[in-house]
A and B are shown apart, each in its own frame.
Chain A
């Protein structure tokens, strides 16, 4: 089979079938992703709705049987960046600083010193994890959601985020270290360690 990017010509019935069978089953993942990006139920709804409308509009460029979930996540992430981040009132200055500092030191550092203990982690509850994750800059939060919560492969993440796999890996590594710092700070404040 050749890899030509010919557009499909789906009939209306086919369109509805693809939409129902391949797109809608991912709505829960999409909504949760949107909520973790926007922290607002109405914004999350709008973002998911916008994503599905775009997906329907561009359905002819979707190849049936390919990875619908990754395709939808890519649309959602682009909608968030292009349309949403601008509108949103939440300040993103801090985000950019943190992210930029990271891009300037792309190398994967291997040293990870922490006195966080497994037993401490195991006793944490949902709200604690949630606030640690939410405290991360959006780019770092995103890779953790895609990898750990949604189970995307590095290759899928690279496509969703439009970045090379090497960048996926280093961003994920950095994100995990930052999350660990947040969890550790939390553990310390609760007197879990020592």
Chain B
């Protein structure tokens, strides 16, 4: 009984376990790999937990940084032509 109560107290007041679980889910959520249930759990947690919410924001901002700021290189004009002629000459 005493240990059960302790578990209960730990889970409902310190939130330690929730935070760990939350950080484990963070990348799954960000990468769209989490199940609907995991997403629900995650959002419920970060709605209430500021540190986890901030961690999530930081991770997401870095992912967004990569997606929006990295310059893509233009494919050289002659590359497709080169590939085609190489295929023709070896086929």
Contacts and interface: CB of A to CB of B under 8 A. Distances in A.
A49 B70 contact: no
Interface of A: 19, 24, 27-28, 31-32, 35, 41, 44-45, 48-49, 52-53, 56-57, 108, 110, 112, 114, 116-118, 121-122, 124-126, 129-130, 133, 144, 147-149, 153-154, 169, 172-173, 176, 179-180, 183
B69 A27 contact: no
B79 A27 contact: yes
B4 interface: no
Given A114-B58, A118-B57, A108 B24 contact: yes
Interface in B28-73: 31-33, 54-55, 57-59, 61-63, 65-67, 69-73
A180 B61 CA distance: 11
A11 to B, nearest CB: 13
Give the 3 A-B CB pairs with smallest separation, nearest first: A126-B69, A121-B61, A110-B23
Interface of B: 20, 23-24, 27, 31-33, 54-55, 57-59, 61-63, 65-67, 69-73, 75-76, 79-80, 82-83, 86-87, 90-91
A48 B83 CA distance: 9
Nearest to A119: B61
Contact of A122 (B33, B65, B86): B65
B83 to A, nearest CB: 5
B59 A176 contact: yes
A45 B58 contact: no
A56 B62 contact: no
B61 A122 contact: yes
Contacts, number: 91
Q: Mostly helix, strand, loop or mixed at chain A's interface? A: helix
A28 B67 CA distance: 15
Contacts of A124: 65, 69
Nearest to B54: A118
A30 to B, nearest CB: 9
A133 B66 contact: yes
Contacts of B54: 118
Nearest to B91: A56
Contacts of A35: 73
5 contacts: A32-B72, A35-B73, A148-B67, A153-B32, A180-B62
A32 B32 CA distance: 23
A122 B87 CA distance: 45
